[in-house]
Amino acid sequence: MGAFLAVLLLSLSGLTAPADPEAALAEGNRRFEKDEIESAFEAYSRGYAGGGSSADGVLAYNAGTCALRLGRLPEALLWYRRAEMAAPGDPWLRDNLALTRRALGDPLEENPAWRLWLENRGSLAAAGVALAWVAVGLLVAAPRFPRGLLAVLALLACSAFAAGTLVDRFGPRAAVLLAACPAPQGGGLPAGSEVWVRPAGKGGWHVMDDGRNLRCSVAAVGLVEP
């Protein structure tokens, strides 16, 4: 059962089971030097584990460069966004991201209202832990501190921790559309759009946009974070 869930999660994230990062990087570099770009792309993507390490950043950057060479712009954008998670602010990466977005017509569709949630979801849980320690410290150091206020503080701590954990596990995910997602009433978003998504019932993803009620298949959505 555990193995089945692992395979399912990997399929939902659009990734295959990761290989050894160093071996994958060496193989990818060897293939790239031989101008075997497709094979190099496959090697780099196999080694990517999605953990945000420096090795993941290099593998994602190289995979993005291969996808760009192959003319697969939405995939290039996806891999560069993944590299950005591990190496934010890298000048070469920033330039390649800008180049890819321009080549795609810059269909940037991210909803900024969700960015704050995504970037601070870990902070909510950390704030809950900090508040809990404050409550314990007050209980020990100030035994006459009003019990009602301590109870409120403990409740806030539990709420912040629960909210952070839930947002981290079930909240919106930054994604790149690898295929166009049409709207029921016509139009929709083109491949390469950068969006926020949440899981849809019976598979697929709902795009969290301005109310167009877009639903994309699993294969059409590449998550920036696994």
**In the chain, domain spans:** 2-103, 112-170, 173-223
Quote the CA–CA distance of 34 and 188 in Å, as a whole number: 40
For the chain, percent of residues with pLDDT exceeding 90: 38
Angle at which helix 73-86 crosses helix 54-69, to 10 degrees, equals 160
**183 within 8 A of 214, measured Cβ to Cβ:** yes
Statement: 2-103 belongs to CATH 1.25.40.10: yes
**In 3-state terms, what secondary structure has residue 110?**
coil
The highest-level CATH class for domain 173-223 is mainly beta
* Cβ(91)–Cβ(137) below 8 Å: no
Residue 62 to residue 56: CA distance in whole angstroms: 10
Nearest to 226 by CA among 76, 51, 95, 63: 51
So what's the pLDDT on residue 6?
Answer: 38
Task: Tell whether the model's pLDDT for residue 152 goes beyond 80.
Answer: no
Higher pLDDT, 217 or 212: 217
65-113 pLDDT, tens digit per residue, is 999 999 999 999 999 999 998 888 889 999 999 999 999 986 655 555 5
Exposure b/e, 110-148, CB count within 10 A at least 16 = b: beeebeeebeebeebbebbeebbeebeeeeeeeeeeeee
Q: What percent of the chain has pLDDT over 70?
A: 62
The pTM of the full predicted model, rounded to 2 decimals, is 0.70
Task: Supply 50's token pair.
Answer: 């999605």
Q: What is the per-residue pLDDT for 83?
A: 94
Separation in Å, CA 89 to CA 92, 96, 173, 201, 217:
9, 12, 21, 36, 31
Contact 95, 61 (CB under 8 A): no
Write out the two tokens for 175: 């994604």
pLDDT in tens, 154-204: 676 666 556 555 555 556 788 999 999 988 877 888 999 998 888 887 789
Q: How deeply is 201 buried, as exposed, middle or buried, from its count of CB atoms within 10 A (0-12, 13-18, 19+)?
A: exposed
CA dist 134 and 126 (Å) reads: 12
pLDDT tier for residue 118 given thresholds of 50, 70 and 90: low
Given the DSSP bridges, would you call strands 194-199 and 188-189 parallel, antiparallel or unpaired? unpaired
What is the average pLDDT across 34-57? 92
Is residue 63 over pLDDT 50? yes
Give the pLDDT band of residue 1 (cuts 50, 70, 90).
very low
Spatial separation of the C-alpha atoms in residues 108 and 133, rounded to whole Å: 42
Say what the pLDDT of residue 103 is: 92
